[in-house]
Structure 1
Amino acid sequence: MEATLNVGVDVRFSPTGRPLAIRHEGRLWVVTEEPVHWFERDAWWERRRTAPVGVGNIVDIEFWRVQVKLSQRAALRTFVLRRNPGATQWLLESIS
């Protein structure tokens, strides 16, 4: 079962850019397995008529799928994280 959320979360990354932990609703979820990283294209032209000059990348939506636990004995969960083009805030898209 998967819950769609789209809520802001804080993500702690390693120096190499790999997610290590996610803070969601005041709880710290630790990444336990190797995460999956990918990008999708945003259809910005369907929502905006023009792209602002100098904004940078406006088409790549960044995703991470991570396996997380609250503690050693807790159940394993899968979080899908998303960062929209031009945003600094990570969103927790879903939990399964």
Structure 2
Amino acid sequence: MGRIDEAVAVLVDHEGAPTLFRWREKDYQVSSRPVRWFARAEWWAGERAHRGIGSGVLEVEMWRFLATADGSKTSFELLHNSAANSWKLLRRFE
């Protein structure tokens, strides 16, 4: 397990949970119920928040689940930054 930290394209269901993501030209179908939690953003690594914006910019949504591509199941951890509407693959557990 290592930190990957790469942007990915993600499809979500009506509740915002990942159902499929694309990483390195391969589609991964989510095959377990995704677990969601919130974590602190790496505030020191990003752009400075504009004055008057609340503390919500310091929190990011995290997701962990099993996903399948080519028949093998692997556990992944994704970060969703709702303020920027961006997704990153943080970790792949083998």
- The normalised TM-score by structure 2 is 0.81
For the aligned residue pairs, the C-alpha RMSD in angstroms reads: 2.3
| 33-42 or 83-92: bigger deviation | 83-92
Taking only the aligned residue pairs, the percentage that are identical comes to: 26
On the 8 A contact 1:60/1:85 being kept in 2, the answer is: no
Matches within 5 A, 1:24-39: 24-39=23-38
Matching residue's letter, 1:75: S
On the 8 A contact 1:36/1:64 being kept in 2, the answer is: yes
Match of 1:58 in 2: 57
Partner deviation per Cα, 1:1-47 (whole Å, 9 max, x = no partner): x1321000011001121210011011110000101100012363x56
Larger Rg: 1
Structure 2 distance, partners of 1:47, 1:68, is 29
On the 8 A contact 1:55/1:86 being kept in 2, the answer is: no
Matching residue's letter, 1:30: Q
More strand by share: 2
Query: Residues 79 and 52 of structure 1: is their aligned pair in 2 closer, same or farther, counting only changes over 3 Å?
Result: same
Structure 2 distance, partners of 1:38, 1:95, is 17
Structure 2 portions without partners, runs of 5+: none
- The normalised TM-score by structure 1 is 0.79
Match of 2:83 in 1: 86
Structure 2 distance, partners of 1:92, 1:47, is 17
